[in-house]
Amino acid sequence: MPPISKIARASGVAAIPLLIAATAPAATDPFLWLEDVHGARALDQVATWNAATEKTLEATPGYAQDHARALAILEDDSKIAEPAQVLGDVVTNLWRDKEHPRGLWRQASLASYTAGKPEWTTLIDVDALGKAEGQSWVWHGADCLAPDYTRCLVSLSPGGSDADVVREWDRTTRRFVTDGFTLPQAKSGMTWVDADTVLVNTDFGPGSLTTSGYARQIKLWKRGTPLASATLMKEAAPTQMGMGAHAISDAGGRHVVVTLEKSFYTHDSWVLNAKGALVALPLPESADLEGLIDGRLVALLQKPMGAFAAGSLVSWPLDAVLAGQAPAPSLVFAPSPQQAIETVATSDHTLWITLLDDVSGKLLALKPQANGAWTQTVTSLPDKASVTFEASADKDDLAFATVQSFLTPPTLYAIKADGSSAAVQSLPAKFDASQFTVEQHFAVSKDGTRVPYFLAIRKGVKGPVPALIHAYGGFRLPQTPSYLTTEPYRAGPLAMFWTEEGNAYVLANIRGGGEYGPRWHDAALREKRQNAYDDLYAVAEDLVTRGISARGKIAVSGRSNGGLMAGVAMTERPDLFGAAIIGSPLLDMKRYSHMLAGASWMAEYGDPDVPADWAFIRKYSPYQALKKGVHYPAPFLYLSTEDDRVHPGHARKFAARLEALGDRFYYHEYREGGHSVGADPAEDAVRAALLHAYLRRELMGIKPAS
């Protein structure tokens, strides 16, 4: 998906409400009526398309078995109980299973959790709460105030949309606080300043949203006073992205940071001092604040700064900043050309870095020294795998990370600052990994760039065989291998189904992502977007050259920004691809900036209302590219009605235009579930079975039973 920016995400900034469906319509577009998200005519059309797809694909041999197997995997109680947060000596987790599809927010002692024998106590039963309140609640998280973590700001979304309700909750009484801090449904953020004060960014009424649909204003709100009386702290210009806030802390204390998102990739930040005033931070506008450790602000550079290269971590002393000084930054860590910093986190005395090294994950533990230097330890985790940082226990300097690969099921590790690790929980294997082989190859793109990709295939298979390529290519987000029962994103065990029957599954690390740091992203930004698509084609052609697959037997898969990529692939290279899985996509790039959160992504794609920008966007925009008489592969479009980040009108209008041209397509739109959070695992099980049936039909010629 095109995500909100890192700090915006932390501060609750999200996309605009579905009611703001579209503005400045193109008079020549005959399918604008499909942008009416909840319009009766539009939903009738969706129901017709859904029914046709279900009728065809559910009749495909093997569908029922796939669905049952996918549902069993996705509802299997043998899941990693990933730590949502560590609150002092307590670990929280959101647990979803067959009986609790919306989840149990629960807690266990840190000691029992680390020992692999957590003793869980339920805090909030989201399913029961929704039933009692007559709402289809989806959990969006909780922010509990340190150091005692008694009072929490709980966010709940109706149906899984980005818009949510925020309510104050007491972890001691396990009840919502009567007359506590509460915000109605909106795209909001609320951050604790102290027990009786919060910073709020939300829809305060007319004129309070930016053109991107985010909150323009951030206000200081005191307990017991009406929200209308909250004090304005900072305000964004209407054309900027929005305002947000979040907290950072180290052993010395907690600090609140206010951020003005000027665009998706630029921001200014201030720290709230002891007098309640905002003091500007010395970070470049393109740098990302990652945390605080040993009194030092740590930031990741997205562009060079003096002698420091893009992709490096640097730090500034916070005390000097609060004193109004302009301290010089110092280097914390500089990755090599083959490396990229993926995530950064802190505990009281340790800085944790997940690092990609030719797209293979590592976890580093860094400790600050009195002389300004940093010691560095490579933690003892499995090699050639993906490492996902989950959470850290501050005072214990303990980190939790999940390690997995295509063939290795997820294992959660507890890692100490000295680099030693111990497995906390491992999932049982869902399939026989010995039957497969995994390789990393490099394709050569049109401009000579080496593009890595991972290939999973059954041992002994002689090509050419049908292949499925999943990719993303945008927003600095790297794609790393995960267990085949969770690849690709939101499609459950599709990759497992696909490879088990002798086909090839590929994860392509095309430019636009963060696999090699800022340079990899910048190489596909705005007018350079075609580089990402050329990378994808190079990977597909490399499969053909190696004899693994063949033209017309390759499917492309992507979601959100990746859905745009898949739409571009089917329209630019119908000779190469025989199928396209297009999930929650952007497709109408002429109007994307007028639809929901689209205006916030102009730093990535450009502004289609500016003629010079439209000149390069129009060259790939899939909706405008569709032409009569071209033999396109029949795509599978999937999405959610309640997705209030990427407008469902993109997929709807694309389907309508294909239909008008007489071209085949498959379409499935769920009525619930937001952009990044599903409402129910059962939905993903249906999607996995439908997509497998689709691929078997389009690439293998397996037709529905008559």
- Position 26 scores a pLDDT of 53
Report pLDDT digits (tens) over 13-66. Answer: 233 333 333 344 455 899 999 999 999 999 999 999 999 999 999 999 999 999
469 and 606 co-located in one domain:
yes
562 and 469 co-located in one domain:
yes
Residue with tokens 């109408």, as numbered in its chain? 588
In a domain, 266, yes or no: no
Phi, psi of 469 (to 5 degrees): -110, 125
| Containing structural domain, residue 136 | 79-186
Evaluated on CA atoms 514, 520, 522, 528, the torsion sign reads negative
Q: Cite the active site residues.
A: 560, 675
In a domain, 197, yes or no: no
Instruction: Quote the CA–CA distance of 102 and 470 in Å, as a whole number.
Output: 28
Geometric angle at alpha carbon 493, from 492 and 495, rounded to 5°: 115
Burial (Cβ within 10 Å: 0-12, 13-18, ≥19) of residue 492 = buried
In a domain, 91, yes or no: yes
In a domain, 571, yes or no: yes
In a domain, 126, yes or no: yes
Q: Structural domain tally of the chain?
A: 3
350 and 362 co-located in one domain:
yes
608 and 657 co-located in one domain:
yes
In a domain, 573, yes or no: yes
Contact (CB, 8 A) for 6 and 202: no
Residue 214 vs residues 73, 183, 210, 275, 607: alpha-carbon distances, Å? 37, 15, 5, 28, 18
Strand partners, 556: 469, 580
DSSP state of 329: P
Torsion of CA 322, 327, 333, 336, to 10 degrees: 130
Contacts of range 601-606, beta carbons closer than 8 Å, 24 or more positions apart: 601/2, 601/264, 602/263, 602/264, 603/263, 603/264, 603/265, 603/266, 604/2, 604/264, 604/265, 604/474, 604/475, 604/525, 604/526, 604/561, 605/526, 605/529, 606/526, 606/527
In a domain, 355, yes or no: yes
Instruction: Quote the CA–CA distance of 513 and 404 in Å, as a whole number.
Output: 20
For strands 137-144 and 151-158, give the pairing: antiparallel
526 and 664 co-located in one domain:
yes
- Position 438 scores a pLDDT of 97
Residue with tokens 């129910």, as numbered in its chain? 680
For strands 278-280 and 90-95, give the pairing: unpaired
Report pLDDT digits (tens) over 70-123. Answer: 999 998 888 899 999 999 999 999 999 889 999 999 999 999 999 999 999 999
69 and 96 co-located in one domain:
no
In a domain, 630, yes or no: yes
Residue with tokens 């995530």, as numbered in its chain? 343
542 and 675 co-located in one domain:
yes
509 and 655 co-located in one domain:
yes
Instruction: Quote the CA–CA distance of 47 and 38 in Å, as a whole number.
Output: 12
> Which token pair is 569?
């692939």
Residue 338 vs residues 196, 287, 376, 481, 516: alpha-carbon distances, Å? 48, 21, 18, 18, 6
107 and 179 co-located in one domain:
yes
Looking at 186, 206, 232, the residue that finishes a domain is 186
403 and 504 co-located in one domain:
no
Whether the upstream peptide bond of residue 464 has omega within 30° of 0, thus cis, is yes
Instruction: Quote the CA–CA distance of 355 and 340 in Å, as a whole number.
Output: 6
353 and 500 co-located in one domain:
no
Contact (CB, 8 A) for 388 and 362: no
Exposed e or buried b per residue across 279-289, where buried means at least 16 C-beta atoms within 10 angstroms of its C-beta: eebbbbebbbb
- Position 24 scores a pLDDT of 44
Looking at 381, 398, 427, the residue that finishes a domain is 427
Looking at 152, 186, 220, the residue that finishes a domain is 186
455 and 407 co-located in one domain:
no
Domain CATH for 452: 3.40.50.1820
Burial (Cβ within 10 Å: 0-12, 13-18, ≥19) of residue 51 = exposed
Which residue type does 87 have?
Answer: L
| Positions in the chain whose pLDDT score sits under 70 | 1-27, 676-679, 705-706
